[in-house]
């Protein structure tokens, strides 16, 4: 089934084609809430254009919250990498670890630093993808009233000087993202990118807990969620997302809390929009068990969990250059089947069933055995061709926001698979209300972390991106005008390699 250069023309969508890329999140949110033609929000007077790589977007070494006490450290036990090396990917499990050490190993497995690439201009790699490797998600631990933050470099839990000392019987891991970890030039994207990474981090910790046999359940934000930020001394609270809470077995159920008043004072209009969209979520109070992070029945790879986490990458460039360049090569068709299993394994069902059910996955394939080059609808049952055309990756490269340049790699045209995760925001808001916005982002982050592991097991990089121009991408992919591409992933074989310094323990 061949197609012309693009699918049939569409009706105008809710976001004009000439709207600023960074503003589209706010417009989609307003469209979901009922505005048929949302007004383009005004740019801040000092906004930089979202082109190239602005200086303020360059990496800054990830920092712990300002209240972290490095004179109050609980060093976690060594040996996590050895445990992971003995566990085959994906079916292997780690057994025999005492309960009091299992959480420590899970934290290091999920969030510990993996390696340093001397040629790479970004921060050191971990086992999960992050926006420009800035790692805006902090990992907090409440261990029976002792409230600490995970330090990935020291592999320790640091005390928090502003944290509550109130007694507690709970054992919990809390994930909260700091909007201000991303530069102000990202504007409204500071919200969605951090919330997508929360979904990635949630999948990472759930996988680690499942690997180590630690029973847990997930609680998504609801009434009282903002109180938890104050409990850990995270101020000002507007800098932080409402936390996702992973409760370990034995934690007593808690009733709904209440949010403190008055409303937060936010310093600028764009950040006020970001905080508003985050605070609008109200998930059901009931938590859900963590037992579905690893898809069952996926074939053995001959690799260990340690090797797959080590291999996970967003692509390479040499000599401190940005972006990634690929080399074309045929890949086996089983790569698509494994990726589908990881992508479509749903997150814990505590308010997310509608979002997981509404997620639409589109794949663009190139030189994948058993699949003609083209555009496919991805479902649990099949890859259904929407259009067969070998030129789609090259056309997608033309609408990619980071063009090929002397200092920037851009090999979209050589990708083996391009994945696009999309929702129809208004339909999802009809089921979940204002919670739909964050539910969609958590769901996409969860799915994409699984995809990056599947790609790593096949020797492919997987680079999550939000840089495709949305309207022409929808036309190329055959998506309706009221459908929003929440996240895309470019996956292929890296053209470059270089030294890798092992930072694992």
Q: What's the pLDDT tens digit per position in 100-159?
A: 899 999 999 999 999 999 988 888 999 999 988 899 999 999 999 999 999 999 999 999
* Residues whose CB is less than 8 angstroms from the CB of residue 87 and which lie 6 or more positions away in sequence, other chains included: 93, 94, 211, 304, 305, 306
pLDDT for residue 228 is more than 50: yes
Domains detected in the chain: 21-47+313-502 (3.40.109.10), 60-289 (3.40.109.10)
Which pLDDT belongs to residue 51?
A: 43
DSSP string, 11-75: ---SS-TTS-GGGHHHHHHHHHTT-SSPPPPPPPTTPPPS-S--GGGS-------TTEEEEEEEE
In 321-468 the beta strands, taken as DSSP E runs, fall at 322-324, 360-365, 374-378, 383-388, 408-410, 417-423, 461-465
For residues 72 and 159, what is the distance between their CA atoms, to the nearest angstrom?
A: 5
Contact criterion met (CB below 8 Å) for 377 and 362: yes
Percent of the chain with pLDDT over 90: 70
SS3 217: strand
| Residues constituting the chain | 505
SS3 495: coil
Give the helix ranges, DSSP H, for 90-224.
99-111, 189-211
pTM for the full model? 0.94
Sign of CA dihedral 388, 391, 394, 395: negative
Q: What's the pLDDT tens digit per position in 26-79?
A: 999 999 999 999 988 887 766 554 444 443 444 555 678 877 888 899 999 999
Contact criterion met (CB below 8 Å) for 198 and 445: yes
Q: Which residue has the tokens 């797959």?
A: 308
């Amino acid at each position: 089934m061949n197609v012309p250069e693009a699918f049939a023309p569409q009706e105008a969508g809710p976001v004009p084609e000439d709207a600023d890329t960074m503003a589209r999140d706010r417009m989609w949110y307003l469209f979901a809430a009922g505005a048929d033609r949302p007004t383009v929000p005004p740019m801040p007077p000092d906004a930089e254009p979202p082109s190239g790589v602005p200086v303020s977007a360059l990496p800054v070494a990830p920092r712990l919250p300002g209240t972290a006490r490095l004179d109050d450290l609980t060093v976690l036990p060594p040996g996590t990498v050895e445990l992971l090396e003995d566990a085959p990917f994906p079916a292997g499990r780690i057994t025999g670890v005492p309960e009091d050490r299992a959480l420590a190993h899970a934290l290091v497995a999920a969030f510990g630093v993996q390696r340093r690439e001397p040629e790479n201009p970004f921060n050191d790699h971990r086992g999960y993808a992050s926006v420009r490797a800035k790692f805006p998600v902090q990992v907090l631990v409440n261990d029976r009233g002792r409230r600490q933050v995970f330090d990935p470099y020291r592999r320790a839990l640091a005390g928090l000087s502003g944290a509550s000392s109130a007694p507690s019987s709970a054992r919990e891991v809390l994930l909260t993202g700091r909007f201000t970890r991303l530069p102000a030039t990202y504007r409204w994207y500071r919200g969605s990118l951090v919330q997508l990474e929360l979904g990635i981090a949630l999948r990472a910790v759930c996988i680690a807990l499942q690997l180590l046999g630690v029973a847990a359940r997930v609680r998504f934000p609801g009434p009282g969620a903002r109180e938890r930020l104050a409990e850990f001394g995270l101020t000002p609270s507007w800098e932080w997302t409402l936390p996702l809470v992973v409760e370990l077995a034995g934690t007593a159920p808690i009733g709904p809390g209440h949010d403190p008043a008055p409303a937060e004072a936010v310093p600028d209009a764009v950040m006020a929009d970001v905080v508003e969209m985050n605070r609008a979520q109200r998930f059901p109070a009931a938590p859900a068990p963590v037992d579905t992070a690893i898809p069952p029945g996926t074939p053995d790879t001959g690799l260990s969990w340690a090797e797959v986490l080590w291999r996970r990458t967003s692509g390479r460039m040499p000599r401190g250059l940005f972006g990634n360049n690929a080399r074309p090569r045929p890949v086996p068709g089983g790569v698509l089947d494994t990726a589908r299993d990881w992508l479509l394994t749903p997150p814990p069902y505590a308010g997310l069933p509608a979002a997981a059910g509404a997620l639409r996955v589109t794949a663009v394939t190139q030189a994948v055995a058993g699949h003609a080059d083209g555009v496919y609808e991805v479902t649990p049952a099949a890859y259904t061709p929407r259009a067969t055309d070998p030129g789609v990756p090259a056309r997608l490269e033309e609408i990619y926001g980071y063009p090929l340049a002397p200092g920037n790699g851009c090999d979209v045209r050589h990708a083996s698979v391009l994945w696009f995760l999309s929702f129809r925001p208004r339909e999802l808001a009809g089921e979940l209300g204002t919670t739909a916005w964050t539910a969609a982002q958590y769901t996409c982050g969860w799915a994409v972390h699984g995809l990056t592991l599947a790609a790593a097991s096949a020797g492919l990089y997987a680079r999550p991106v939000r840089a495709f121009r949305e309207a022409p991408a929808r036309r190329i992919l055959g998506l309706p005008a009221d459908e929003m591409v929440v996240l895309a992933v470019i996956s292929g074989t890296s053209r470059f390699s270089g030294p890798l310094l092992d930072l694992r323990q």
